[in-house]
Amino acid sequence: MSTLQYQFTANFIGTEAVAGEGDFFKAFTPSTQEQLTDEFTNVSSEQAHQAVEKAAAAFAAYTKLHPHRRADFLDSIATEIEALGDMLVERAVLESGLPTGRLTGERGRTTGQLRMFARLLREGSWVDARINPALPDRQPLPRPDLRQMLVPLGPVVVFGASNFPLAFSVAGGDTASALAAGCPVIFKAHPSHPGTSSLVGQAIATAAQKTDMPDGVFSLLHADNEVAGELVAHPAVKAVGFTGSRAGGLALQRIAQERPEPIPVYAEMSAVNPVVVLPGAIQENATKVAEGLAASITLGVGQFCTNPGLVFLLDSPQSTLFLDTVAEKIRASAPATMLNAGICQNYHKGVQHNRVIPGVHMLAESETESADSRTEGRPAVMTTTAPIFLCSPALSEEIFGPTSLIITCQTETELAECLETLEGQLTATLYATPDELGQTGFDWVSILQAKAGRVLFGGYPTGVEVSEAMTHGGPFPATSDGGRSTSVGTGAILRFVRPFTYQSFPDALLPLALQNANPLGIWRNVDGELTKS
């Protein structure tokens, strides 16, 4: 155990650690449902406004910093998170019930994506600089000098997710991409892991001081729902990042749209991530496909936003082997602690709701009874037919936990009809052989592409690579903006910027990215040609 001193209970308004003036609360450890001893305080409405006002004051200075200095800030955040050592992982284990190995990996993902955005800033071409030099002699009218680039929106409010206390939390992808874009961040901590949040908040505040960032570039607030709504409604806030329930995301979107100046809410909400299994794939290896499905369903107690909640199986002679193998693996899987009692309760309610629908059958449940049904999710897989699924809209709703519904379709037409009824998804997966895709009467790839932000050919969707080419978004309700953005990968930065054109500016007054000498050495579009000159 490290001996580093840290504060579990602090809010940070800029770099200042403060006690909240609102209600007291304590964290719980879901594995035992016991309160931890540390007391936290929510901020008051006045304190929340102070944080936004600090962010607004910091914006002008922060956006004018050389991009390499913002990159240094992101690198420093990663270093300070690593300096917390075992304390951070140990606290996250206590507050989330997730295992040490999972959270150690998640810490690496968090620091890795911070450094990925730092590299993006140093390379610089992401600003999409476009230059049309003046043509004073053009007839019949001269052309003025026009120079466009992406510029930051302004202060951003980010909400932490329950299921990723590090990678989608205080220093997660929303925060990292907003800070990279040049936007100060006001972070609303998730109440399920307040101590973990305060630790990372302190790491960011320390990094801001060490790299001489404007005070207010980042704040961490524990806040109730009313104050959280006030953050979104504040006129200085220009965008919102959120990962969580559909109800929560839509509530924030309503607040944002009812403002005198509506702002974008980038909310990742719900998905069932359908998996389509065609006969050729299970004929080649029914056992392998089925074992992979069962492992994906139960990974992380099913608490991934990419968990495969629906499986569409086109009936074939090998279907029985496929189903038997899934059932065997689910029976052998053990219940495990979920993130909190509320999530666990909703999981069991969802399973019970579906299993009593006529025509839905329990294929298999874990044969190990839960040690504590209040906190442990028991894996379960149910089956039904396409006609039942098409008549029961509730079956396509997300159940957050280690469960999936397998729908057997007798014909390709039934399968296509089922897929057409689905809402937008983060992912869709297709198991098939290239030969059968060439012989089918349906373009399954196009059908799935219309429904999801990412389509996998084989494999399973749990696990999201943090890389330049990743899309983690999708049509509504997977994301609130209709799938036009991603919250993972370098493309996430585009949520927090807008195009801006400088017309007829003296060269010395232009941003470095647009100056004639191209001092940053980035790729730019000059009269339709990409060049570094």
pLDDT in tens, 281-306: 999 999 999 999 999 999 999 999 99
pLDDT at 504 (0 to 100)? 98
- Cα separation, 81 vs 197, in Å, equals 11
- Same-domain pairing of 165 and 283: no
Widest Cα–Cα separation across the chain: 82
Looking at residue 463, its pLDDT comes to 85
Distances (CA, A) of 107 to 85, 246, 320, 386: 10, 26, 41, 42
Say if 157 falls within a structural domain.
yes
Same domain for 156 and 15, yes or no, is yes
The catalytically annotated residue of 80, 95, 106, 268 is: 268
- Known catalytic residue: 268? yes
- State pLDDT tens for residues 17-49: 999 999 999 998 998 888 888 899 999 999 999
State whether 87 and 189 are in the same domain. Answer: yes
Residue 241 to residue 265: CA distance in whole angstroms: 6
Looking at the structure, tell me whether residues 263 and 334 fall in a common domain: no
Domain boundaries, position 419: 275-457
Please report whether residue 531 resides in a domain. no
Predicted TM-score (pTM) of the model is 0.95
Using DSSP's 3-state secondary structure scheme, residue 336 falls into: strand
Task: Report if residue 316 sits inside a domain.
Answer: yes
Q: Are residues 149 and 263 in the same domain?
A: yes
Residue position matching structure tokens 């330049």: 468
Query: 28 in a domain, yes or no?
Result: no
Domain membership of residue 409 (yes or no) is yes
Indicate if 303 and 194 belong to the same structural domain: no
For residue 374, give the CATH number of its domain. 3.40.309.10
Vertex 17: Cα angle to 14 and 20 (nearest 5):
100
- Shared domain for 366 and 221, answered yes or no, is no
Same domain membership, residue 203 and residue 66: yes
**Radius of gyration over every alpha carbon of the chain, rounded to an integer in angstroms:** 25
**Three-state secondary structure call for residue 146:** strand
- The reported pLDDT for the residue numbered 3 is 35
Residue 214 and residue 300 share a domain: no
Answer yes or no: do 113 and 196 share one domain.
yes
Are residues 385 and 250 both part of a single domain?
A: no
Split into its structural domains, the chain has a count of 2
> Which CATH number belongs to the domain containing residue 109 in this structure?
3.40.605.10
Task: Please report the sign of the dihedral spanned by the C-alpha atoms of residue 492, residue 493, residue 496, residue 501.
Answer: negative
Contact 242, 276 (CB under 8 A): no
**Whole-number Å distance between alpha carbons of 441 and 431:** 16
Residue among 95, 183, 305, 376 flagged as catalytic = 305
Q: Give the Cα separation of 191 and 208 in Å (integer).
A: 24
Spell out, as residue ranges, where the chain has pLDDT lower than 50.
1-5
- Residue 529 lies inside a defined structural domain of this protein: no
Verify that 224 and 286 share a domain, yes or no: no
Q: Is 344 designated active site?
A: no
- Which pLDDT value is given to residue 4? 37
What end-to-end distance do the CA atoms of the chain give, in Å? Answer: 53
Is 524 among the domain residues? Answer: no
Q: What amino acid occupies position 405?
A: L
